Amino acid sequence: MSQAILEELERRRAAAKLGGGQKRSESQHAKGKLTARERIEVLLDEGSFEETDMFVEHRSHDFGMDQQRIPGDGVVTGRGTIGGRLVYVFSKDFTVFGGSLSGAHAAKIVKIQKMALTAGAPIIGLFDAGGARIQEGVESLAGYADIFLQNTLASGVIPQISVIMGPCAGGDVYSPAITDFIFMVKDTSYMYVTGPDVVKTVTNEVVSHEDLGGARVHAGKSGVADGAFENDLEALSEVRRLIGFLPLSNREKPPVRDSYDEADRDEASLDTLVPTNPNQPYDMKELILKTVDEADFFEIGADFAKNIVCGLGRLDGQTVGIVANQPQVLAGVLDIDSSRKAARFVRFCDAFHIPLVTLVDVPGFMPGTKQEYGALIKHGAKLLFAYAEATVPKLTVITRKAYGGAYDVMSSKHLRGDVNYAWPTAEIAVMGAKGAVEIIFRKEAGDPEALAAREAEYKERFANPFVAAGLGYIDDVIMPHGTRRRLIKALKTLKNKTQENPWKKHDNIPL
């Protein structure tokens, strides 16, 4: 092979790696952002990246585009490893045509999506782009739809993770929306279907990019994002951490990691976690951190619907998904947002063979016209549906309140919970004692002393876990300090659990 050919290859590689050039790369850095290739270097194991389609260029001839061709066409695609495990990645390059999507650009992404699906490995998309390439018209729109189709086909088969690291607007937002997790970077990223200018034209609202679709909006208000990080480095490091909890595809079980945390460890402080005053809050995250291996908990949607906590941890090295009511926020009540958040997480865990641990302290569903007009019935049913259809091992611990329909919904024995425990402080009833007595004995409403006596009687009868345990709805009443040990033992017994739902083309979850 002649030296000239080798030199030509190296020249072309160097040109492709430059993207939009040094000046535009420096502009990225000035905004606090890494370039597309720098992001891949941070995300993947050192030296593991193998690029595909480095030399692809767009095919447009309109509006002078035939004079502007840059190898790679605004997206870097390929595969590599995270912790030695295979992943596929595409990283949009804002330095090339603002990362805008052309037909060729879309074809590169679709190609890597198909490769990931065939190989059975996660795909991670790094977004930093200005939407469709207007010069290509319908071809760019067709490219979006091709990507959306692959996202949909891959859903539940391989983990799909989207990291928004710059602008993400118009058609660009729907691919992340279909994926399993969306993470954003504070101050440098935003997502919206229509930008501030269009909003002003159509609705007369004046709003900034940040207030319309910034990381704080989507991580805290809309729930579109599952997390917001301080900068590119933190976001990419956390994605690496997340991948460590997940299986590569639905064809395998989640990875089991060596744990230095003793499986039979007791945690004496849990015996006093629940206050004696039933109306006093406590932090459910304390229970989570003291139960999982090495207090390592990857929370999902930490800033949204804080009355429910969702995330991934490990028990004796085995990945588990944790869903827990949070008494510190709205007394842990279930509402529209918490139901949506938890339902989606439960379905993700079920799709990828991740056992579910549910920690229950729930006073019921949120009352009020705002919730009812917002379709709480349908949204609450999503969580109910998700738990009912899940066939992974399901472990439940009731720590305090489990009232009304919310008791049923939170992975109860009646929804095929495999192992259901309660702490001695658990109360399982239709409603709290005061409300129940006011209904049952309404004729005695004018006699406070009589009502107080009735309330004490009701508490004696129902403010404990033993009625449910006597019916077999609770498998055992356990000491709080032994929660970790009991969960690990139960999880081991369910290692080879098999359970199937009736055949169907697909279900019709109440969306």
> How does pLDDT run across 271-314, given as a tens digit for each residue?
999 998 888 999 999 999 999 999 999 999 999 999 999 999 99
Q: Among 80, 71, 154, 69, which residue's Cα sits nearest to residue 110?
A: 154
Does the pTM surpass 0.85? The reply is yes
pLDDT of residue 162: 98
Tens of pLDDT along 426-471? 999 888 877 887 788 887 777 777 778 887 888 778 778 988 898 9
Tens of pLDDT along 342-365? 999 999 999 999 999 999 999 999
User: Catalytic positions, please?
Assistant: 170-171, 405-406
CA distance 386 to 409: 9
Percent of the chain surpassing pLDDT 70: 91
CA distance 408 to 387: 10
- What is the secondary structure of 326-394 as a DSSP string? -TTTGGG-B-HHHHHHHHHHHHHHHHTT--EEEEEEE--BPPSHHHHHTTHHHHHHHHHHHHHH--S-E
Asked if 20 contacts 93 with a C-beta cutoff of 8 angstroms, the reply is yes
Residues in CB range of 452: below 8 A, 6 or more apart: none
Asked if 103 contacts 135 with a C-beta cutoff of 8 angstroms, the reply is no
Tokens of 22: 């040094």
pLDDT of residue 505: 94
Residues in CB range of 402: below 8 A, 6 or more apart: 360, 361, 362, 410, 426, 427, 428, 429
CA distance 438 to 77: 64
Tens of pLDDT along 227-278? 999 999 999 999 999 999 999 999 999 999 999 999 999 999 999 999 988 8
